[in-house]
Chains A and B, each alone.
Chain A
Amino acid sequence: MSEAPILEIEDLRVALPEGSDRPLALDGLSLTVNRGEILCLVGESGSGKSLAAGAVMRLLPEPSVRMTDGRIRLEGQDLATLSEREIRQLRGNRMAMIFQEPMTALNPQKTVGWQIDEVLRLHTSLGRKARAARTLEMLEQVHIPDPRSAMNAYPHQVSGGQRQRVMIAMALAMDPRLIIADEPTTALDVTTQLQILRLIRELQESHGSGVLFITHDFGVVAEIADRVAVLRRGELVEQGTADEILNRPQHPYTRALIAAVPDLTPPAPRSFDGAPTVLKAEGMRKTFRARGGIFGGRRKAVVAVDQVSFDLRRGETLGIVGESGSGKTTVARCITRLLDADGGRVTLDGRDILSASGGDLRAMRADIQMVFQDPMASLNPRKRVVDLIAQGPIVHGTPPRAAREQARELLRLVELSPAAADRYPHEFSGGQRQRIGIARALALEPKVIVADEPVSALDVSVQAQVLRLLADLRKRLELSLLFVTHDLRVAAQLCDRVAVMEKGRVVETGVTAELFANPQHAYTRKLLASVPGRDWTPPQIREDAA
């Protein structure tokens, strides 16, 4: 074929502003996307993958970040030579982009129909009726239920998954040759994610466009990619077919990344026969009522936790898995008394924690500690690390000097250098901050740690390290762990037992290995079937070979 590839990037260099961690965000990136092909650009945060997309669309935040060298050609046409007006005519027309956050990527003040219509208004001379017909057709193509009423809906009136469908409809309205998808499913639940991935695949096949798909998730790569390019700190380390990269990676970095992906097959179960029960929840309930004054209007109450019961034995890890809105975080917060449950009983070592108050509750808090999802938001930015960790013990009566001494000890335990003690949270990376969060939770020598999505905000290689640390600590300290997560891969590797939650109820509980091998409840089966790349088993790569 003499036809030019849809997208050619040659030796692309993008400069960062002075004072950044490196001078070039992208250094000599070369890529090709062919007709009807999905190229996955994979990298961890800060690898420059989103800037590559920005450079192609010419949407870099200039002048601070700008392209300094290289060539980008769309079907043979050099994009750098085009005027601002000409590039505007290409955007949304021959090349379109799908963004990560469906919540914020749509204008909240305009209807869904208006926003799709805008693309047609910009790039066609169609009349109002013809545009409306085309908008409706696009909404049908992305399988939105009841497209006619969706046209008049505002973005906040449709769910996250539907919003991403709207984004896709918008991107495909002009039948673009190139679609750039920047982490389009990262913010979505697994079941929705699978639907969206299938939709992108389906539409790309029927439209014959090329797709540059940016992601950090190897599961998603396994699901959708034809070819894969791996990016590390702005440099392309490896490129090849999906099969080559996923199953026979060559470059040490790719191998390390793939080795860090948790396997969906759980390890053999550990035995907890005879271990005493540390935490027991029975019939826990929590309903969120909308607040209103005397004359206030009434809104519907939401049942967040409905008759939830489970028990946790010493040294055991119980995973609570479910999609967003299933109530798993509410369970974690009720158990730690950060929220007050409406009913039920939770006993910690035989003592009722839900009805405890005042001094009793304060004493009990030392036995149950929490690790939060966002380590940046959960550490006070104005306090030194040593004070953050020592604060708990000091409140509980340890002399400050001893508490600080112990804090330095804990930093060693979570594999941070003792020098970290005198620094502030913002000076650390995400993974290091999460280690500080764990040290803070450990400072009170709790019997139970409740971890709410502790690794969800982390890159896969860092995630693997933090998970290894948690596994190591629970063994050494005989910790019981209540582990809340949406990621079944993580649950498979870390949790001894798993409770699956749907709409506030626990639908199934069981030993992880058995539950994953033979799920009983329809919802569990659906969740497991939706894990991206579930048919791909990350190859066992021996570290010494790398």
Chain B
Amino acid sequence: MAYLIYALRRALQAVPVILMIMVGAFLLLKLAPGDTVDALVGDMGGADAQFIARLRAEYGLDQPVWVQLWRYLAKMAQFDFGWSYVYEQPVATVLLDRLGTTLMLMCASLFFAFTIGILLGAIAARRAYSATDNVISTLGLIFYATPSFFLSLMMIVIFSVKLGWLPVGGIRTIAAFHTGWDHVLDVARHLVMPTAALSLIYLAFYLRLMRASVLEVAELDYVRTARAKGAGETRLMVHHIMRNALLPVVTLLGLQFSTLLGGSVVVETIFSLPGLGQLAYQSVIQRDMNTLMGIIFLSSVVVIVVNFLTDLLYARLDSRIELA
């Protein structure tokens, strides 16, 4: 019950946040020169001024910005995100088609980065300043310093072109028409390289943070108390250090989900995955205002939901925190 009230209040708090994001994004996009009609006409190879003016009137683009904004928000309140003139489909349909791929990519990357990151970080901290630590920390530094586009291209060269182990891009082998487990396996194979490319830099984040956090917690009084009780090293690690050391890492997890979305633009474009990131990129190029706004809306909702989940997780991990 308490959780329900808490969730409800968080949902209410999210409304003004999303509203502000949408208004801000709308105005920013209007500031940029050119609109959908320019892009459409450009694609057609030019048209006469009268036709352009009629198109503008038809799309409502001749109205003042405030009127356009009001109309958009009024429709958004009814969860109507408009029509994509590029894809000739409702924006909602376009988005939902692609949401799955992006969520899959993001969750897989984050999960991989988080688990491997904290594991390596903890190991490095427990063997601080040893050879193991040096290897792990150097590896972290390399991951940290490598841009994801470079990593993506290198992986394609090695694993797809030279070795031929993994597909170059796309989300499935189109001509194969796999079903059931074959399909799942096929999608998974397509996601291996994008996930790796997207997650390695985050893995480095978590690794470094976890290493520092474990080193810090290991020096704390209650760990000394546990030692004085006669607890062995494994016990110290499992019961006294890990859970306390995880707290700052979980905070970062929530914060980074949103930057991950930004990173997926590059990765999805390189691996030609039909996801939101790639869609966002194309929508910008084609001035597909409605789709772009839809993507912004969807991403803010996803980020808010993830932050809510992180807070729940945090409260679960830290007994001192009460949700209020």
Contact = CB atoms under 8 A, between A and B. Distances in A.
Interface of A: 57, 59, 88-93, 96-97, 99, 101, 104-110, 118-119, 122-123, 154, 156, 167, 170, 293, 295-297, 299
B230 interface: yes
Contact of A109 (B232, B235, B319, B324): B319
Given A109-B243, A110-B239, A122 B229 contact: yes
B228 interface: yes
B227 interface: yes
A92 B230 contact: yes
Nearest to B319: A154
Given A57-B228, A107-B244, A118-B239, A295 B222 contact: no
Nearest to B223: A107
A119 B12 contact: no
Nearest to A298: B324
B226 interface: yes
Nearest to A104: B221
Contacts of A89: 230
A122 B231 contact: yes
Given A108-B318, A108-B319, 15 more contacts: A57-B228, A59-B228, A90-B230, A91-B227, A91-B228, A92-B229, A105-B221, A105-B224, A105-B225, A106-B222, A110-B239, A118-B226, A119-B229, A122-B230, A122-B235
B9 A295 contact: yes
Most chain B CB within 10 A, of A109, A154, A167, A293, is at: A109
A297 B2 CA distance: 12
Given A107-B240, A108-B319, A59 B230 contact: no
Contacts of B220: 104
Interface of A is mostly: loop
Interface of B: 9, 12-13, 220-222, 224-232, 235, 239-240, 243-244, 317-320, 324
Contacts of B13: 293, 295
Given A105-B221, A295-B13, A88 B230 contact: yes
A118 B235 CA distance: 10
Contacts of B244: 107-109
Interface of B is mostly: helix
A508 B317 CA distance: 46
A502 to B, nearest CB: 28
A59 B224 contact: yes
Nearest to A114: B239
Nearest to B247: A109
A193 to B, nearest CB: 19
Contacts of B317: 109
Nearest to B246: A109
Contacts of A123: 230
B229 A108 contact: no
A105 B226 CA distance: 9
A175 to B, nearest CB: 14
B131 to A, nearest CB: 18
B286 to A, nearest CB: 39
B321 to A, nearest CB: 10
27 contacts: A57-B228, A88-B230, A88-B232, A89-B230, A90-B230, A91-B228, A91-B229, A91-B230, A92-B231, A96-B228, A99-B221, A101-B221, A104-B221, A104-B222, A105-B222, A106-B222, A107-B226, A107-B240, A118-B229, A118-B231, A119-B229, A122-B230, A154-B320, A167-B225, A170-B229, A297-B324, A299-B324
A122 B230 CA distance: 7
A89 B229 CA distance: 9
Contacts of A119: 229-230
B96 to A, nearest CB: 30
A120 to B, nearest CB: 10
A97 B230 CA distance: 11
Contacts of B235: 122
Contacts of B230: 88-93, 119, 122-123
Given A107-B222, A107-B240, A295-B12, A156 B320 contact: yes
A123 B77 CA distance: 64
B220 to A, nearest CB: 7
Most chain A CB within 10 A, of B220, B226, B231, is at: B226
Contacts of A57: 228
- 3 closest Cβ contacts across the A-B interface? A297-B324, A92-B229, A92-B230
Contacts of A59: 224, 227-228
Contact of A108 (B228, B320, B324): B320
Contacts of A92: 228-231
Nearest to B229: A92
B168 to A, nearest CB: 47
A65 to B, nearest CB: 14
A304 to B, nearest CB: 21
